[in-house]
Amino acid sequence: MRILVIEDDQKTSEYILRGLSEAGHVCDVIEDGRDALFQASREPYDVMIVDRMLPGLDGLSLVKAVRAAKVKTPVLFLTAVGGVDDRVEGLEAGGDDYLTKPFAFSELLARVNALCRRPPVQDQKTLLRFADLEMDMVKRQVSRRGQTIDLQPREFTLLEVLMRAEGRVLTRTMLLERVWDFHFDPKTSVVETHISRLRAKIDKPFDAPLLHTVRNIGYRLDARR
């Protein structure tokens, strides 16, 4: 899953980022409310974790603005402001859940997973198809020609990004940012290694390859032979 963490306390954001990454999720961390509004409106996320006390634009105003922009990403408020009236205010602003600090990471992860299991809103695409390849975002299952394909969390995210691109070429840099949250080149073969593993699972057992390398540019799904 892609998760947007909006938190201005560095220790808290690092703690959340480490735990979610270990659980197989991809996270973007933003400290400023105005920057977060731009990012949430521009990029698709599965969940947003939002602190209420933020510089630039407070969490309540941020979520109200996101909802006004027709962004329906589930929102988990994570904040030290935990009175009954505060929780009601957060939910009425457009939040879907509310967790107060201090918190146990296991509870945070459980709440994030619960938000992702909720029935999707009508215009969210939860069943992805490309040729005879299918990905069910709710069940977290991938299949081709009815045959289930077992993917590791990072492989699942990589394939999701490629399928949502709908045949467009994605560069190595784009994949590093969207799948591994690297905003720099780590000078490793992590992309190539995972592409190779993914190709072995979704292409090798079948006669028609879907995952193609575009020389000197990147990768894309293509059903043409």
Write the pLDDT tens digit of every residue in 124-136: 567 899 999 999 9
Q: How far apart are CA 126 and CA 121, in angstroms?
A: 10
Mean residue pLDDT of the chain comes to 88
Q: SS3 of 81, please?
A: coil
The CATH code that applies to domain 2-117 is: 3.40.50.2300
User: CATH says 127-221 is which class?
Assistant: mainly alpha
pLDDT at 25 over 50: yes
pLDDT tens-place string over residues 78-99? 988 877 888 888 888 888 889 9
Please, is 207 exposed, middle or buried when counting C-beta atoms within 10 Å of its C-beta (0-12, 13-18, 19+)? exposed
Q: SS3 of 151, please?
A: coil
Whole-model pTM? 0.55
Domain boundaries, the chain: 2-117, 127-221
Determine the pLDDT at residue 122: 45
pLDDT tens-place string over residues 133-181? 999 987 889 999 999 999 998 899 999 999 988 888 999 888 988 888 7
